Amino acid sequence: MRHFGHIPATARSGLFHREPCEFTADSPARVLGAALGATLYSPATRPRLADDVMKQVGRGVVSMVLCLEDSIDDGEVAEAEENLVRHFADLHERDGEPPLLFIRVRRAEQMADLVRRLGPSARLLSGFVLPKFTEERGGPFMEALTVAENICERRLFAMPVLESPELLHLETRYETLAGIGRIVDKYRDRVLALRLGVTDFCSAYGLRRSPEMTAYDVHIVAGVIADVVNVLGRSDGTGFTITGPVWEYFRLQERIFKPQLRRSPFMEQRADELRTALIEHDLDGLLREIELDRANGLLGKTCIHPSHVLPVHALSVVSHEEFSDAEDILRPERGGGGVLRSAYTNKMNEVKPHRAWAERTLRRAEVFGVAKEDVGFVELLAAGLVK
């Protein structure tokens, strides 16, 4: 699989200076963690689950979470587990490669039980999403992951969700973060990414952001994101991939504020209809939040609707200018540091302070590709909307 692999090769070659790399579920964790992109969540109770999964491949989805936790009623768990086992078997018999598949469990003991019941179809499973992750809950979850790996005899990853009240509340936040840091560091080779449960953060205070506001406009949430990145997202080799919070909206609602999506990039590409469609579906706020995610050190995003996938991926592609700066900074002859003018002659690149940014940018370029010099996110959005 690869990002933008759902569009024709000729169209891809017209968009990319360097195309996204191919990867599989067996690729190195470094690649998979960066490549998650828009991770689409689906309740495990869906009656046509296998069909739904394969349909999303045609829309550019490369990672999905099949949820046994908050997205289903407490009384539906047994039925949802049976549905999962049945549809994994269905997928196992089909031609075509599904996306990276993860199961969001409620309890640690579900993991080994599900792997046993999946049987041969467990080869399609990439790992588990672990809710309300803290040091106390995380230990049993990670031990259970090891048991599940031994049963199915394949590598499985964990994606802990950071969403507990202890993490939100100021008086317990720092010790909670330190504890999470200890447990994920112990199992570093099995932690693919850390996910942020911003809906639970808001719930603790009876809040819900509107489609015209990003998570960063809710200051109590923005503060938690900043602290999580501060402790667990460092670029010194101790950090982890941290993914962006879910965007909850996908239907037209009455707007209070002016649209946030500038008209000029769309007019230049004669794509005003695309701009209108994005605004009507409240995706202008999503685009702004994706940009803020990246500015704050997050990569990828939790998604609950297929319409969110392409915007996340289009804005994850590295621009030609970013790529040029990153390559200049990382040239071997720049090892001693110094300052140089960018090839675009619009900024100064400081070799030592910008090195970590450049390394992160080239990791993103590997999995999402580098756009051609005259290609922006509007062209990527339009090209990705294949029929």
Predicted confidence at residue 209, as pLDDT, reads 85
Predicted confidence at residue 334, as pLDDT, reads 73
pLDDT(285) > 90: no
**What is d(CA 7, CA 59) in angstroms, rounded to the nearest whole number?**
9
3-state secondary structure of 160: strand
Predicted confidence at residue 98, as pLDDT, reads 96
**What is d(CA 383, CA 364) in angstroms, rounded to the nearest whole number?**
20
pLDDT digits (tens, 9 = 90+) for 246-257: 998 875 554 444
pLDDT (average), residues 227-235: 97
**What is d(CA 372, CA 363) in angstroms, rounded to the nearest whole number?**
17
pLDDT (average), residues 280-287: 73
Residue pair 28/21 in contact (Cβ under 8 Å)? The answer is no
Between 258 and 118, where is the model more confident?
118
Is residue 212 part of an annotated ligand binding site?
no
pLDDT digits (tens, 9 = 90+) for 299-345: 999 999 998 999 999 999 999 999 999 999 998 777 778 888 888 88
**How many alpha carbons lie under 13 Å from residue 348 in its C-beta half-sphere?**
7
pLDDT (average), residues 86-115: 96
Q: Which of 16-30, 179-193, 205-219, 306-320 has the lowest mean pLDDT?
A: 205-219
Query: What string of DSSP letters covers 28-43?
Result: -HHHHHHH--EEEEEE
Average pLDDT, the chain: 91
Is residue 175 part of an annotated ligand binding site?
no
Predicted confidence at residue 255, as pLDDT, reads 43
Q: Cβ neighbours of residue 104 under 8 Å, at least 6 residues apart?
A: 41, 65, 66, 67, 68, 69, 71, 128, 129, 131, 161
Predicted confidence at residue 279, as pLDDT, reads 47
Query: How many C-beta atoms surround the C-beta of residue 276 within 10 A?
Result: 14
pLDDT digits (tens, 9 = 90+) for 361-377: 999 999 999 999 999 98
Pairing mode of beta strands 339-341, 348-350? antiparallel
Long-range contacts, stretch 172-180, CB < 8 angstroms, 24+ apart:
173/224, 173/227, 174/227, 176/134, 176/135, 177/227, 177/228, 177/231, 177/232, 178/231, 179/134, 179/135, 179/136, 180/133, 180/134, 180/135, 180/138, 180/232
pLDDT(262) > 60: no
**What is d(CA 325, CA 94) in angstroms, rounded to the nearest whole number?**
44
Structural domains for the chain: 1-20+318-387 (no CATH), 22-316 (3.20.20.60)
Chain centroid offset of residue 245 CA: 9
State phi, psi for 288 to the nearest 5 degrees. -65, -40
Alpha helical stretches, state H, 309-348: 309-314, 320-329
**What is d(CA 113, CA 130) in angstroms, rounded to the nearest whole number?**
15
Position of tokens 């979850």?
A: 141
pLDDT band at 275 (very low <50, low <70, confident <90, very high): low
pTM: 0.91
β-sheet bridge partners, residue 277 = none
pLDDT (average), residues 142-166: 97
Predicted confidence at residue 249, as pLDDT, reads 82
Predicted confidence at residue 260, as pLDDT, reads 55
- For the chain, the 3-state helix, strand and coil shares in percent, each to the nearest 5, are 50, 15, 35
| Cα three-residue angle 197-202-204, rounded to 5 degrees | 100
State phi, psi for 148 to the nearest 5 degrees. -60, -40
**Cα end-to-end span (Å), the chain:** 19
pLDDT band at 230 (very low <50, low <70, confident <90, very high): very high
